[in-house]
Amino acid sequence: MDKLVLFNNITLNELLNKRLGESKFGEHVKMLTSIANIYEQLLNLDVTYVIIGLPEDVGVYANYGKRGASKAWDATLKILLNIQSNEFTRANKVLILGHLDFTEEMLKVSELDETKKKSINNARKIVSEIDKHVTYIIQQIVSAGKIPIIIGGGHNNAYGNIKGTSLALKKPINAVNFDAHSDFRAEEGRHSGNGFSYAYAEGFLKNYFIFGLQRYYTSDMLFKTLKKFKLIKFNMFEDLEVAKELKFKEELDRALAHINDKPFGIELDCDAIENIPSSAMTPSGFSVNTARSFVTFFGSQENACYLHICEASPTKKTERQIGKLITYLIADFINAHGN
């Protein structure tokens, strides 16, 4: 647990903008005061959701991606704490746990030379270490009967989310992934593009649905791999949003039918949303409201066991935009799941 930095009153008071006559989300969330016995503390708390940040982009670097996803956690907190506390946001059912401190790992990656293949291999070894910490904290949260809301970070953390949840529930879980990419690349050392393939190969992931795969960014080899596995299903962004051959609601139902026979994780990669600063930002993607509808639909299901929002890469100029986007998605999930 040496990586966990608890969210505390000092940070809360720094970020909270109180307003007369209003009740803010941050004024009602729960916090832990001790790092000891996280599982026991969570078990005894009357909360449903545990929000945790994973501020790192080592997995993105290890996948030859553009770094910056480590900044999404701070951008989210600034906005989330200041939305209204009301019957829809259920702040009193939320614990903000804090974040895992990957400063050391980030520093190691910053010192690597990008031009050397060896540096990518080293970064992939660091991702394997990050996996252990993510798996452990998610296992603690789920074992205590709570629902983690995980703010990334890279999509490499899907592996730790799936493994941690699976270990806690003592069985494989399913997953639905709102993403332009399958993240089912070869097991060539851990990175942001193979979290699901590793989780699948190791028996933690069973049924997997990729929602909105972009055909021009998926290799022929990957298409062949995906079609080979009966437990993997997908639809394509172009069929939904360009040719309009598929209907969004029908595809939500089809995805649900594939994953709803057991607990499932909801994964959302901000790369899939149009013009959102991310490691693979796209001018052609789903709208923010479509992403919100996706989270609302799957979040309302009883078997939804976690939400992971990843890959957003805010700059100083775009941190409010990213903070608002992620906050909308968190609030939509809580509202949908509580109804």
User: What is the model's pLDDT at position 61?
Assistant: 95
Convert the pLDDT of each residue in 117-128 to its tens digit. 789 999 999 999
Q: Write a three-state SS string for the chain.
A: CCCEEECCHHHHHHHCCCCCCCCEHHHCCECCCCCCCHHHHHHCCCCCEEEEEECCCHHHHCCCCCCCHHHHHHHHHHHHCCCECCCCCCHHHEEEEEEECCHHHHHHHHCCCCCCHHHHHHHHHHHHHHHHHHHHHHHHHHHCCCEEEEEECCHHHHHHHHHHHHHHHCCCEEEEEECCCCCCCCCCCCCCCCHHHHHHHCCCEEEEEEEEECHHHCCHHHHHHHHHCCCEEEEEHHHHHHCCCCCHHHHHHHHHHHHCCCCEEEEEEHHHECCCCECCCCCCCECHHHHHHHHHHHHCCCCEEEEEEECECCCCCCHHHHHHHHHHHHHHHHHHHHC
pLDDT of residue 111: 87
**Which CATH class for the 4-338 domain?**
alpha beta
* pTM higher than 0.95: yes
pLDDT tens profile 51-72? 999 999 999 999 999 999 999 9
